[in-house]
Structure 1
Amino acid sequence: MKVINPYLNFAGNSKEAFDFYRAVFNGTIVMSLPYKDTPEANRVKPEDRDKLMHISLDLKNGNILMGTDALENMGHKLNPGNNINLSIGTESKEEADQLFNALSDGANVTVPMSTQFWGSYFGMLTDKFGIQWMVSFDGR
């Protein structure tokens, strides 16, 4: 396994939050992807298209803080406890499958492992203890 990083869910203010975290941790925003620039753009209300589907803040030493605007019209409802995921970056597709399958025991799989439009092999689930996991292999 390469890394485990936190992935934060926000109710529409992820840009503001990440600007704050960038200043606090003296990090660098390495990716900022609004919904309007994704294949999901047509599913998002026009007023939400500038919200962020994904943002990454490099904190150095292999630590990355990631986040999203979890929009209700995209099927997300934020509640205490579901505003954070643990994101596992693996060293191979096989390792991603192995970890995802192991975590899937008694879990609610929300995104089965598959290659996504951004290029990563990716899946999401909530394990039997209520912990949300994202597993990915980016091919590098």
Structure 2
Amino acid sequence: MQLSNYLFFTTTCEQALEFYTQCGLGHVTEVLRFGVNGMPVPNEAMRNKIMHAQFEGPGVLFFASDNDDAEPMRGSAHILQMHDRKRTEQLFSRLAEGGEITTPLNMQVWGDYYGKLTDKFGVQWMLNCAV
């Protein structure tokens, strides 16, 4: 058994996955599109939008799609357990571009270097680096 997140975007899944690739999290390993290769189209506005995608990188696996009736993301966050402070700072800075930092990266009472943000697509990220 493995737990993986599934992210639902309204119509910005492709842009979000490109952003996560540019941040250095990994890359898309599978994609199905509405209206391509026999895939159904719920409405014309969704044609060519992402019906299902798999995203993978070192220690990262999640799925995502466009869903024009998706609820706003809330109540869940990706937590990345990091082991390199410089890499943590770089990734945190990239993910924060256009988003909102809710807890700046800093040493925490539990002894780790930690920060939390919501990216420009509404996804919450927590980076924890055991230093």
Q: Which has the higher contact order (CA 8 A, sep 6+)?
A: 1
Larger Rg: 2
Structure with greater helix share of residues: 1
TM-score for both structures, normalised by structure 2? 0.49
TM-score for both structures, normalised by structure 1? 0.46
